[in-house]
Chain A
Amino acid sequence: MNAKDVNPATGPRILVIEDEPTIIEFLRTGLGYEGYQVTIAPDGRTGFDLAGHQSFDLIILDLMLPDMDGFDVCRKLRERGNETPIIMLTARQEVADRVTGLNLGADDYITKPFSFDELVARIRALLRRQGKHPEQSILSVGDMVLNAETHEVSRAGEPITLTPTEFALLELFMRHPRRVFTRETLLNRVWGYDYAGDANVVDVHISHLREKIRDKPPRLIQTIYGVGYALHPEDDA
């Protein structure tokens, strides 16, 4: 749906079994932006049926559901031999619940109110464990190569030294080629949600980054006037 940056037909498929409309909305939007294909089931019965008919890479399961609670859904899925990784969402914090969930075959557990970043991190970790995560650690655009694990960047074989902020900016652009990022979004994702500084700091760091990667027109990192920045591979028309 809103996944402009990845091919919606290839991202990992996630089934969200949740009954709260607002939570559904942000999960659908947020996970879509992260490149996942999101399917929603508003109650346990629907979720259980969907999981039986389609194949998913991961299930996000709320514990409090109208008809069948999350424990039941989890247990029945496992009884039927469905091994899709499950992350349970619950408002309860009791250790007993946690243990029950994990015993029933849930793979992870996250307590409301949770941070969306944390949920995404857990989804990534689970998918990586399953070998299904599409996120590569070595990204390349044209003659530029970035290794997310070693934090090394090179262009045309020549290593480039970047500050952590510059590196994070470049990685974000390279992971989402062609996606336009506003200054605000870049600030939130690279500097953090609680960064209170001026948005001009983005322009300064982008200009440093361009210098270091010798980004001459036609530029790799383009300025979209009035909006923000986007990375366009050289082979784009």
Chain B
Amino acid sequence: MKRWRNLSLRVRLTLLYVGLLALLLAVLGGVLYWDFQNFLLESTATRLRAQAKPIIDEASAAAAPLEHAQTLARDLTSRETVALIIGPDGETVAVGKTLPEEPAPPPPDPAYDARALAGENEVTYVAQMNGQRYLVLLIPWRSAPGSPDILGVIQLSTPLAPIENILLRQKLMLGLGMMLTLLAGLAGGLWLTSSALKPLNQMTETCERIAEGDLSQRVNLPEREDEIGRLAQAFDHMVARLEAAFAAQRRFVANAAHELRTPLTAIRGSLEVLMRGAQDDPAATSRLTQGMYREVVRLSRLSEQLLDLSRIGAGATIHKQPIDLQAFFDDFLYQARLLARDRTVTLDAGDPVTILADPDALMEMLFNLMDNAVQHTAENGIITLGWRTTPESVQLWVADDGEGIPADDLPRIFEPFYRGDSSRSRRQGGSGLGLALVQALVEAHGGRITVESQPGQGARFTITLPLTMRDVDPLEKIG
């Protein structure tokens, strides 16, 4: 069994296929041969009986028919058939063979003779004599057709050699046909399994190349709708997704490194300039130190956000607890106004509702959206926070009347490090991770975030969180 399993699928399938074919052919050939042999014997018997009938009838019609037994035997004998007439006691009464070219009759078989004498009309058997086979027919000799009065038994025999020749030829032809069919089956089976399994080999080779690190490899089978075609398509699709994921990962790391370079350059350069002598000038020292402080703050914020993002990405647990949105926003508004400085922050409160969420995460989402709004709004701009509930969800939003987002940038603003207007947010200390972080947090809560914006007309970020029934305090609802 182990050896069988070690054979390649191609060989196993072919062997199985050819084995079944051989079995089928053998059964079919056997049945065909047996049937054909019966047909030949029966038709010969029928023909002989038909030929003998009128002669016997004529002889029966004569007076004292037994006296003419010799004549009858003679009449029934030909080059291929010899007749023997057996009396009621089993003794041979007459033998038809007179010429040497006429076949010799096999000796009568008393067991069969008794059956014919008892009135059985068609006793047929094959007898063996001198290594030759004979077809033997026994016909009861009745005094008149249909009469129960049996005078004796007429034994007609004919050598089977001609029939056996035909059967031999038949056997050879069947055998040859089977061989040819099996060979064709073997070749066809090998071809069929090879062509069916070739894509599998192709996939194995592709897998091996991918395992070596080349994710750009694809199986790329020609269009086919069968199981293997579907497997190959699914496989290619999977590799494409993996490749995209790895590329995104690499891009993320490259971007992160890139974001680290700028503050590092500023800090390193400032330090070198200080050490080269600017430290001797208090004014220059103060300017450079302040710059370095800004950069260090930027670096810490960047590293914190990177960490947050990777924690959420790694499936950090969200500790949900009931949050009364009214109370939450009352708290948050104070911080939001600190962040907004001269900008006006208003709250568009919805119906009182208690949601299930992680308060720290909710705070971080709104804080980042607020930060983003502040960065893109003029000093005297207006920022609106608010929420609305529907039976299934709660929507929280942060809207501003700032510069808005160009349509080209809209689909990409949630990508880490993506900046539409690279200068502006970067100068103001944005890391490019804020919105990505918000999206990750919202999705960790099973919600989604959307943005609507027209350039010049501000932007509106909406967080939709699912509101399951148990999120709503029943008392709250009644109240």
Contacts and interface: CB of A to CB of B under 8 A. Distances in A.
Interface of A: 2, 19-23, 25-27, 29-30, 33, 43, 64-67, 91-92, 112-117, 119, 180-182, 184-185, 188-189, 193, 227-228
Interface in B269-291: 269-273, 275-281, 284, 287-288, 291
Contacts of A116: 268-269, 272-273, 276
A196 to B, nearest CB: 13
Interface stretch (B32-40, B376-384, B421-429): B421-429
B423 to A, nearest CB: 3
A29 B278 contact: yes
Q: Is the interface of B mostly helix, strand, loop or mixed?
A: helix
Contacts of B258: 91-92
A21 B275 contact: no
B280 A181 contact: yes
Nearest to B280: A182
Given A25-B270, A26-B288, A29-B288, A193 B275 contact: yes
Contacts of A33: 273, 276-278
Interface stretch (B13-21, B259-267, B335-343, B406-414): B259-267
A91 B261 contact: yes
Nearest to A117: B272
B280 A25 contact: no
Contacts of A117: 272, 276
Given A2-B284, A26-B270, A67-B423, A114 B276 contact: no
A25 B265 CA distance: 12
Interface of B: 258, 261-273, 275-281, 284, 287-288, 291-292, 294-295, 421-424, 426-427
Nearest 6 CB-CB pairs, A to B? A66-B423, A30-B273, A22-B266, A22-B291, A116-B272, A113-B265
B262 A112 contact: yes
Contacts of A26: 266, 269-270, 272-273, 288, 291
Contact of A181 (B262, B271, B277): B277
Nearest to A34: B276
Contacts of A67: 423
A26 B275 CA distance: 12
Contacts of B421: 66
A22 B261 contact: no
A116 to B, nearest CB: 4
Contacts of A64: 422
A182 B279 contact: yes
A209 to B, nearest CB: 19
A22 B295 contact: yes
Contact of A188 (B275, B294, B422): B275
From A64, A65, A227, name the one whose CB has the most chain B CB atoms within 10 angstroms. Answer: A64
B265 A23 contact: yes
From B263, B276, B279, B421, name the one whose CB has the most chain A CB atoms within 10 angstroms. Answer: B276
B266 A20 contact: yes
Nearest to B269: A26
A27 B295 CA distance: 15
A66 B277 contact: no
B34 to A, nearest CB: 82
Given A20-B262, A22-B292, A66-B423, A27 B269 contact: yes
Contact of A30 (B263, B272, B427): B272
A193 B276 CA distance: 8
Contacts of B280: 180-182, 184-185, 227-228
B423 A188 contact: no
A23 B270 CA distance: 8
Given A23-B262, A43-B423, A185 B268 contact: no
Nearest to B281: A2
Contact of A25 (B263, B281, B291, B427): B291
